[in-house]
Amino acid sequence: MLIPNDKLWESDRILMVQNTTDWEKDDASVMTDCALNMVKTHLEEASLAGDGLILIIDLTCGDFPPWTQVLRIVKFFVTMRSLLISGLTCTVIYTNTSNQKTWVDRVLNLYSHARPVHVVETKESIKDIVASYRKPVEARER
């Protein structure tokens, strides 16, 4: 299932979504829907405020989702294309195995992304990408 984490939202306009190993549990679909709804809510807020969201998808904490879940997630993003254009700065997908990277590449071949997507293998790469796109909220308000 997907687990959202918005502790960096107020300071940096970053939303992180992590996967788990619990994709077969009864509540996996419900939790995934909750995570996707949180993404949508933050995208709407970022779009209205004019300061784009950076979405970090961390695949290092669990298993790659089953294809039924992958297709639901892709459909969610496809139907939100205009909101992604207005509210998203970029997506960073953090993987730590070649198998995950292969699956991510396959998914990205299905989905024509609206904003830049970066697939990375280190936390340092995440930091570099985030830094290249923006400064913290306090610095932007000066």
Domain range annotation of the chain = 2-141
* Predicted local confidence at residue 8, as pLDDT: 93
Per-residue pLDDT reduced to its tens digit, 119-134: 999 999 999 999 998 7
User: Rounded distance, CA 131 to CA 79, Å?
Assistant: 29
Q: What is the largest CA-CA distance in the chain?
A: 48
Confidence band (pLDDT; 50, 70, 90) for 135?
low
User: Rounded distance, CA 125 to CA 95, Å?
Assistant: 11
CATH topology of domain 2-141: Phosphatidylinositol Transfer Protein Sec14p (3.40.525)
Query: What's the average model confidence in pLDDT over 64-81?
Result: 89
Alpha-helix runs per DSSP H in the chain = 9-12, 28-49, 67-79, 81-87, 98-110, 123-133, 137-141
5 strand-pairing partners: 16
Select from 119, 111, 124 the least CA-distant residue to 84. 111
